[in-house]
Amino acid sequence: MRKCQSWRLVKLLTVSAVLVLSAQILVGVLSKEQVKTSPLSEQEHRLLSPHSYQYVLNQPLCRYTSPFLLFLVPVAPQDNAAREAIRKTWGAPGQDTLTVFYMGVPEGGQGSSLQDKLEEESREHADIIQMNFLDSYQNLTIKTVMMMNWAATHCPRASYVMKVDSDIFVNVFHLLRWLRSCPRQAFITGSVINDGRPRRDIYSKWYVSEEEYPEDSFPPYVSGAGYVLSADLAARISWASRFVRMISMEDVYLGLCLRVLGVRPVYALSLPTLRNLFEIRDLEYDRCTFTKLLIVNGFKASKLLQHLGLNLFSAQRTQTSSTGCI
Ligand SMILES: *[C@@H]1O[C@H](CO)[C@@H](O)[C@H](O)[C@H]1NC(C)=O
């Protein structure tokens, strides 16, 4: 329970930091109440509805046992190297964790040679979930909603779900210990972005037209690199998606669903330094720094494998690897 108290302290500090640091955010919170929600039209909903797509590959992975923490990794069909590296590092099967890879169909469709390879890989590892939407960058939002729906319907007894990109370092040991310190509901944490705005510059990679999103700011959301939610929220997000129009930035989309649900994403900060535990910048590997973080960005397959021996990935890691760190 002491850890719960320190968690409350984190929350308290977070709240005060937010209050003190930015009056702007407060304005955002106040104006948020005025947003009306109504269900999407049939046609708008169809693009994101779980009923619009069928499983090409699926696995009854939670039929007999449920993991404490389910990792959902969106990955492009051709990115076999990333899947291999994750299976050998933080995604290795553990007692408390389960890792599934989520994808749509490749460009060439279901008859392509890439699809044949995927089916072989799926037979070997039984960790690939695939639905029949086209796998593309712009369709990441579809993928995210489908992942939430999969978690809610196929793995409903997991305690936590983590959406994590395939180029991320995950400190499984620290993450599990941190999550176990306190049971939570309607909870989502990650690197919170409170002041996001749509880019109206047509040449920007993140251009959003006024037609697509008329408001001039985004509600708070968590960076898509990696975020953790209590499993109850996966079902509620999937439900909320029938009120939120498709926008191609999946993390913003999730924030819009959270607004419908009245759930605020929270920061995860370390004490006493108030460092963000979800590090979305790239950092050079440093054992002492990494022991204390939950995720770090910028770990492509080769870099993950290079650190294979360092043991920070494993839930069974011995306590000793943080010795010598301050
Ligand atoms: C997204 O997926 C849908 C369903 O497969 C497809 O019709 C659409 O073309 C895809 N959009 C993009 C931009 O790839």
Contact 236, 261 (CB under 8 A): yes
If one residue of 132, 135, 136 were mutated to test the ligand 1 pocket, choosing by the most ligand atoms within 8 A of its CB, it would be 136
Judge if the beta carbon of residue 133 lies within 6 A of ligand 1.
yes
Beta-strand pair 168-170/278-282: unpaired
Give the closest residue (by CA) to ligand 1 atom 14: 136
Q: What is the pTM of this model?
A: 0.86
Judge if the beta carbon of residue 52 lies within 6 A of ligand 1.
no
Predicted pLDDT at 320 = 44
Give the closest residue (by CA) to ligand 1 atom 8: 134
Instruction: Give the rounded distance of the alpha carbon of 226 from its chain centre.
Output: 4
CATH code for the structural domain at 40-318: 3.90.550
If one residue of 43, 52, 139 were mutated to test the ligand 1 pocket, choosing by the most ligand atoms within 8 A of its CB, it would be 139
Q: From ligand 1's centre to the CA of 299, what distance in Å?
A: 28
Predicted pLDDT at 26 = 44
Tell which wins on pLDDT, 146 or 303: 146
Predicted pLDDT at 114 = 95
Highest mean pLDDT among 9-13, 46-50, 109-113: 46-50
Predicted pLDDT at 324 = 62
Least confident stretch, 27-31, 85-89, 110-114, 130-134 = 27-31
Is the pLDDT confidence value at 2 over 70? no
Q: How confident is the model at residue 64 (pLDDT cuts 50, 70, 90)?
A: confident
Give the model confidence (pLDDT) of 259-275 as tens digits: 999 999 999 887 778 88
Q: What atom of ligand 1 comes closest to residue 248's alpha carbon?
A: 13
If one residue of 54, 137, 138, 145 were mutated to test the ligand 1 pocket, choosing by the most ligand atoms within 8 A of its CB, it would be 138
Give the model confidence (pLDDT) of 85-113 as tens digits: 999 999 998 889 999 999 999 998 877 89
Is the pLDDT confidence value at 28 over 80? no
Q: From ligand 1's centre to the CA of 85, what distance in Å?
A: 28
Judge if the beta carbon of residue 139 lies within 6 A of ligand 1.
yes
How far apart, in whole angstroms, are the C-alpha atoms of residue 171 and residue 158?
19
Judge if the beta carbon of residue 318 lies within 6 A of ligand 1.
no
Predicted pLDDT at 30 = 45
Give the closest residue (by CA) to ligand 1 atom 4: 133
What mean pLDDT comes out for the span 131-140? 95
**Three-class SS string for the chain?**
CHHHHHHHHHHHHHHHHHHHHCHHHHHHHHHHCCCCCCCCCHHHHHCCCHHHCCEEECCCCCCCCCCCEEEEEECCCCCHHHHHHHHHCCCCCCCCEEEEEEEEECCCCCCCHHHHHHHHHHHHHCCEEEEEEECCHHHHHHHHHHHHHHHHHHCCCCCEEEEECCCEEECHHHHHHHHHCCCCCCCEEEEEECCCCCECCCCCCCECCCCCCCCCCCCCEEEEEEEEEEHHHHHHHHHHHHHCCCCCCHHHHHHHHHHHHCCCCEECECCCCCCECEEEEECCCCHHHHHCCCEEECCCHHHHHHCHHHCCCCCCCCHHHHCCCC
Q: What atom of ligand 1 comes closest to residue 138's alpha carbon?
A: 13
What mean pLDDT comes out for the span 175-201? 93
